[in-house]
């Protein structure tokens, strides 16, 4: 069994200012950042001690890759024999020289383009650098109406082998016209899946068994969307809490959740690229993303 961990430490700050985001331009004190670093280093040490395969996706509140300790954590994790993948969600604003210290076969980036916070040219230059450095990655955008032309332009300029996912903006009901849905589906064939809140109560979901959400203090929850803790990774008998369990929520509308909802069959569709959001079909038909 491989245990996939969605780690979200106390970090909650960002260098960007996206209008819809509570972490926009939020800063933290030196003490808060030091606490985040301590939590992360403890987690990396824990991962090193596992006797079974581990995959990690960092899903920070805000931007973490501008912090050296996340770069160091990815280097350390990818060089551990028992770690099969270490990935992170990022706005790709950081320098990329730290990737030289990583085992690239295990490193992956989930890169989100934020029009207005950086230029397409600058973002694409970072994507090209990832390709040159041999780093696997996906690219994504939030499908805001104001950004539709920019999303199409990004798709046109990205190498075809790079998957571009589009997250649906679901805060406003009926946000998209059918024409917009068609246009976004032409860019991301999985857009209709993301544009749906999937009925999930009582359904089998891998979270809580082979996938867990972990907080900075080690608290384990089945996923980021169910608050009830199931254990703590720093307890000696932590693994005993891992077992199949049905979803308690009415719906699941976020990719990092529903991708593990078994009736949707998405784990099979993403295969080994599930943490960094790179579908298997794209790999098979279009080659590696890096």
Q: Which residues bind ligand SF4 (CB under 6 A)?
A: 14, 16-18, 21, 23-24, 62-63, 91, 114, 200, 205, 207, 222-223, 225-226, 247, 249, 252, 257-258, 260-261
**Could you tell me the smallest distance in angstroms from the CB atom of residue 208 to ligand SF4?**
7
Is 59 or 78 the residue whose CB approaches ligand SF4 more closely? Answer: 59
Q: Is 70 helix (H, G, I), strand (E, B) or coil?
A: helix
Is 21 or 280 the residue whose CB approaches ligand SF4 more closely? Answer: 21
Torsion 160-150-194-3 (CA) sign: positive
Alpha carbon of 264 to those of 38, 124, 180, 196, 206: distances in Å?
37, 32, 24, 12, 12
For residue 240, the tally of other CB atoms under 10 A from its CB is 9
β-bridge partners, 259: none
**Could you tell me the smallest distance in angstroms from the CB atom of residue 191 to ligand SF4?**
19
Is 101 or 248 the residue whose CB approaches ligand SF4 more closely? Answer: 248
Burial class (CB in 10 A: 0-12, 13-18, 19+), 57: buried
Torsion 171-110-61-13 (CA) sign: negative
**Could you tell me the smallest distance in angstroms from the CB atom of residue 263 to ligand SF4?**
10
Is 85 or 114 the residue whose CB approaches ligand SF4 more closely? Answer: 114
**Could you tell me the smallest distance in angstroms from the CB atom of residue 222 to ligand SF4?**
5
Task: Tell me the two tokens of residue 124.
Answer: 């694409």
Is 24 or 148 the residue whose CB approaches ligand SF4 more closely? Answer: 24
**Using an 8 Å Cβ cutoff, are 176 and 184 in contact?**
yes
Instruction: Specify the DSSP class assigned to residue 2.
Output: P
**Could you tell me the smallest distance in angstroms from the CB atom of residue 267 to ligand SF4?**
11
Is 85 or 222 the residue whose CB approaches ligand SF4 more closely? Answer: 222
What lies within 8 Å, CB to CB, of 2 at 6+ separation is 52, 53, 54, 55, 84, 210
Task: Tell me the two tokens of residue 60.
Answer: 């920070």
**Could you tell me the smallest distance in angstroms from the CB atom of residue 111 to ligand SF4?**
11
């Amino acid at each position: 069994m491989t245990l996939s961990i969605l780690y979200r430490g106390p970090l909650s700050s960002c260098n960007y200012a996206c209008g819809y985001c509570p972490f926009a331009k939020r800063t933290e004190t030196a003490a808060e950042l030091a606490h985040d670093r301590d939590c992360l280093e403890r987690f990396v040490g824990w991962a090193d001690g596992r006797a079974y395969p581990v995959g990690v996706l960092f899903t920070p509140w805000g931007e973490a890759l501008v912090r050296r300790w996340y770069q160091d954590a990815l280097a350390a994790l990818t060089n551990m024999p028992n770690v099969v993948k270490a990935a992170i969600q990022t706005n790709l604003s950081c320098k990329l020289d730290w990737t030289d210290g990583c085992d690239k076969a295990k490193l992956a980036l989930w890169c989100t383009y934020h029009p207005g916070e950086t230029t397409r040219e600058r973002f694409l230059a970072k994507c090209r650098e990832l390709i040159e450095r041999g780093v696997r990655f996906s690219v994504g955008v939030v499908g805001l109406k104001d950004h539709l032309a920019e999303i199409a332009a990004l798709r046109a300029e990205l190498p075809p082998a790079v998957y571009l996912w589009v997250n649906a903006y679901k805060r406003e009901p009926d946000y998209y016209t059918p024409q917009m849905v068609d246009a976004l589906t032409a860019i991301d064939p999985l857009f209709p899946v993301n544009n749906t809140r999937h009925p999930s109560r009582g359904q089998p979901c891998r979270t809580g068994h082979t996938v867990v959400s972990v907080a900075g203090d080690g608290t384990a929850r089945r996923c980021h969307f169910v608050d009830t803790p199931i254990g703590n990774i720093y307890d000696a008998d932590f693994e005993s809490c891992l077992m199949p369990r049905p979803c308690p929520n009415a719906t699941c509308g976020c990719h990092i959740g529903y991708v593990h909802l078994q009736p949707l069959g998405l784990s099979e569709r993403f295969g080994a690229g599930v943490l960094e959001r790179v579908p298997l079909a794209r790999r098979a038909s279009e080659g590696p993303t890096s």
